[in-house]
Chain A
Amino acid sequence: METTITINVLALIARVLSGASVRWVDCQPDTCQRVYFANHTSHLDALVLWSALPADVRARTRPVGAKDYWSAGRIRRYFSTRVFNALLIDRQEIKVHQSPVDLMIREIGHRDSLIVFPEGGRSDGREVGEFKSGLYYLCKKRPDLECIPVYLDNMNRILPRGQFLPVPLLSCITFGPPIWLEADESKDDFLRRARQAVLQLKES
């Protein structure tokens, strides 16, 4: 890992470049174990969300990303291993005894928080897609985790799909009140509720 100073400088640069204004709605930054789940429209999402967290929270928060994307190329590899300490998931071969959710739970222990994008891939930014089931299984195995909905606004205009040059527009990141998996909640109900929590932040 890089030194704290390098990481803070990188986070500051990301903040200035993304022009992000950060809002915490009915929620405060905390170092307790959390899962930040957000809508996904741009390659910059993980970086911008990560940089919007306060330094002490950021040091304990690890984005979850696809191994094929984050280990391709020197810059991505540098960020994923030495800056984010990202948790990389192998999309090509998912083994039964080594599911991504098990990997996440083992890696975070009782200390780290996660950043996940439950849509699975990037959407075009007009609508938030249906959530994949990973978030549900994660919460089922660790019901104590606080799930924080996050809405990233305007990121799809800064660096949309299929573009590699960013346009420096201003973005807005909204953190919402935490949700937990209820004791007898079904998978579909929970995922629908989680998606609704992100969509609500869009309106607020």
Chain B
Amino acid sequence: MAPEREWASQIETRMDGRTLGLIGSVLVLLGSATVAVRVLRRRPDPGINPAILETFRLRVWAWWLLFATVAGACLIGKTATVIVFGLMSFWALREFITLTPTRPGDHRALFWVFFLLTPLQFVLVAMENYGLYSIVIPVYGFLFVPVRVAMAGDHKRFLERVAKIQTGLLICVYCLSYAPALMTLRGSEAAPFSSAGLLLYFVVIVQLSDMLQYVWAQIPSRHVIVPTVSPGRTWEGLLGGTASVALVGAVLCWATPFPFYVSALLSAVIALMGFAGGLTMSAIKRDRGVKDYGTLVEGHGGVLDRIDSICFAAPVFFHIARLLIPHA
């Protein structure tokens, strides 16, 4: 009896019919976006700004990559998902620290950040040790970094340098690790749900909110929110994007363990956090005088440019979902 039940619960954390339905919907959506781009590019006069079309084409390409990676990992299971997000995190931190000036005195601290704290965080997530992975970076990591930098003996601009490393660790590693942590949420026996489906739902909503905010920001009569940091983000984009994402969330509630109004509200929260993430990273990029974080694929920006909204939305979404889902 016991092994059979274990098997059943494993299947439940991976995939169920609704999750496959969600994957199917995304495939249809991405497929039609790809076809639309193809058709528009073939026309001699596409009727829209070619620069916007090119941005959109690259964006669709990046979505395929992101979706294939995340959905593929979810299909395999929890460990694969944690590893995939761990690698994304490692690469994002690479991009972050590369663009942040550090001094030779930070070298040893950075070594431990990359090779101890980052892997440790994801190992703890895979072990489902919530008590530890929720504090190991913001308490022990954040105490360790200043001490190690101080030990190196270089006190010039000390606080600034420590803050840079801590911010990178917080955004690229700690926050992002809450996305695969969604795979560790379990429903009760009375109300089972697929945690893989929850993660996919989260990623889909974040990406949709990014796109919808961009689309809404194209309408004229623009009220830019912070012109000095991000001239492309308008109140129309934020409000219109959030409202339409909430609508999408309500429609997609069948893929979640929540009723439609909770799903709509969660989607709106994701949209707001995604906005916060994009704005914060824009401020950092603007300060460094760059447009994109990485050069992994020419013209596509970096990993961090694609996941900044995921980083900010993941911990908030995780905590709300954890509160709402009745534990087994």
| Chain B residues numbered 273-304 whose CB sits less than 8 Å from any CB in chain A | 294-295
Q: In this assembly, does A21 line the interface, its C-beta being within 8 Å of a C-beta of chain B?
A: yes
Per-residue contact bits, chain B 112-137, to A (CB 8 Å; 1 contact, 0 not):
00100000000000000000000000
**Most interface-central of A163, A166, A169 (chain B CB within 10 A):** A169
Q: In this assembly, does A57 line the interface, its C-beta being within 8 Å of a C-beta of chain B?
A: no
| Contact partners of A143 in chain B: CB under 8 A | none
| Chain B residues numbered 76-116 whose CB sits less than 8 Å from any CB in chain A | 90, 94-95, 97-98, 102, 104, 107-108, 110-111, 114
Determine the distance from Cα of A21 to Cα of B299 in the docked complex, in whole angstroms.
Answer: 13
Q: In this assembly, does A96 line the interface, its C-beta being within 8 Å of a C-beta of chain B?
A: no
**Most interface-central of A19, A154, A160, A170 (chain B CB within 10 A):** A170
Q: Which residue of A lies closest to B101 (CB)?
A: A157
Partner of A168 from the list B94, B102, B295 (CB cut-off 8 Å) is B94
Determine the distance from Cα of A167 to Cα of B108 in the docked complex, in whole angstroms.
Answer: 8
Determine the distance from Cα of A168 to Cα of B111 in the docked complex, in whole angstroms.
Answer: 8
> Judging by beta carbons under 8 Å apart, are B98 and A165 in contact?
no
Q: A19-B94, A21-B295, A154-B98 are in contact. Are A167 and B111 (CB under 8 A)?
A: yes
| Contact partners of B97 in chain A: CB under 8 A | 167, 169
Determine the distance from Cα of A172 to Cα of B108 in the docked complex, in whole angstroms.
Answer: 22
Determine the distance from Cα of A166 to Cα of B295 in the docked complex, in whole angstroms.
Answer: 21
> Judging by beta carbons under 8 Å apart, are A167 and B294 in contact?
no
Partner of B114 from the list A154, A157, A168 (CB cut-off 8 Å) is A168
**Most interface-central of A21, A163, A168, A172 (chain B CB within 10 A):** A168
Q: Which residue of A lies closest to B111 (CB)?
A: A165
| Contact partners of A168 in chain B: CB under 8 A | 90, 94, 114
30 pairs of residues in contact across A and B, judged by CB atoms under 8 Å: A19-B94, A19-B98, A21-B295, A154-B98, A157-B98, A157-B102, A157-B107, A160-B104, A160-B107, A163-B107, A163-B108, A165-B107, A165-B108, A165-B111, A166-B111, A167-B97, A167-B107, A167-B110, A167-B111, A167-B114, A168-B90, A168-B94, A168-B114, A169-B94, A169-B97, A169-B98, A170-B94, A170-B95, A170-B294, A172-B295
- A interface residues with partner B (beta carbon < 8 Å): 19, 21, 154, 157, 160, 163, 165-170, 172
Given contacts A160-B107, A165-B108, A167-B107, 12 further A-B contacts (CB under 8 A): A19-B94, A19-B98, A21-B295, A154-B98, A160-B104, A165-B107, A165-B111, A167-B97, A168-B114, A169-B97, A170-B94, A170-B295
